[in-house]
Amino acid sequence: MSVGASTVQGRTRWIGTSWKMNKTLAEARDYASGLAAALRAEPGLAAGLQPFIIPPHTAIAATSRVLAGPQGEDDAGVVLGAQNAHWEESGAWTGEVSVPQVRDAGAQLVEIGHSERREHFGETVETTRWKVQAARRHGLRALLCIGEPGSVRDAGESAAYILDQARGALQGLSQEDLDGVLIAYEPIWAIGENGRPATVEELRKPFRALEAEFGETVEGILYGGSVNLDNAAELLGIDGVDGLFVGRTAWQLEGYLQLLRIAGRQGA
């Protein structure tokens, strides 16, 4: 576990963001430098929390170097992720990157199965399973994203849908491998620029189902979907939520730092 991680009710509380297809190298370095400086200047900022950030592939190595500090000896306590990685070790997969490659660049976690990858790049339950296995094989955490479309929610089948996604992706993993898996529940209807924030009542049943099936086996279960500074504390108060996976609100450093402060106060 990285420096600064601790537990809430026996589980680490994760607060993270994916930058998606945003930020140049200079912008990534500035964000990482500001984050590392804030965490070092305020030792209590991440108390009870595990911060994580997921840059685009082009910025993983540069971000890793900044977070390591000028001498490379002082880890800022931030887990660094990759937004995707192929399941094969190497080969003729033009445009892809492998788990060994993102690990070599400094990634400690791989995001897998985001709804945008499923919709636009044809990812399936089977390919998410291969990717989870590849990440764990190389000692990286797997952040498995699951979520249902609005039509499934309207039919009252959200819990069954996301359980099928998670079961399929995690099928066959040992408990040792599951110890390095995070699940991020991101309802498709609640994410993105046009997403509608979910209500607490809409989230209770899915999280009860996830907690009942995976709460004792995976490292944590997170929520993502129109998370902002106004609803973050309420979302963290839902039974079964071990943290937040945040989009636009955390793309600017001050927004991310505010989320850390909210999570810290809420868990105190």
> What are the structure tokens assigned to 44, written together?
């209590």
Task: Measure Cα distances from 228 to 80, 123, 191, 213, 262 in Å.
Answer: 22, 28, 12, 28, 11
Q: Distance between CA atoms of 160 and 49, rounded to whole angstroms? A: 30
Task: Measure Cα distances from 260 to 14, 82, 187, 208, 267 in Å.
Answer: 10, 21, 22, 25, 11
Is 86 a known active-site residue?
A: no
Residue with tokens 């620029």, as numbered in its chain: 193
Q: Distance between CA atoms of 154 and 150, rounded to whole angstroms? A: 6
The residues near 98 (Cβ < 8 Å, ≥ 6 apart) are 85, 86, 88, 89, 90, 134
Catalytic member of 114, 123, 148, 219: 114
Is 120 a known active-site residue?
A: no
Catalytic member of 111, 123, 148, 186: 186
Q: Distance between CA atoms of 103 and 110, rounded to whole angstroms? A: 9
Active site residues: 114, 186
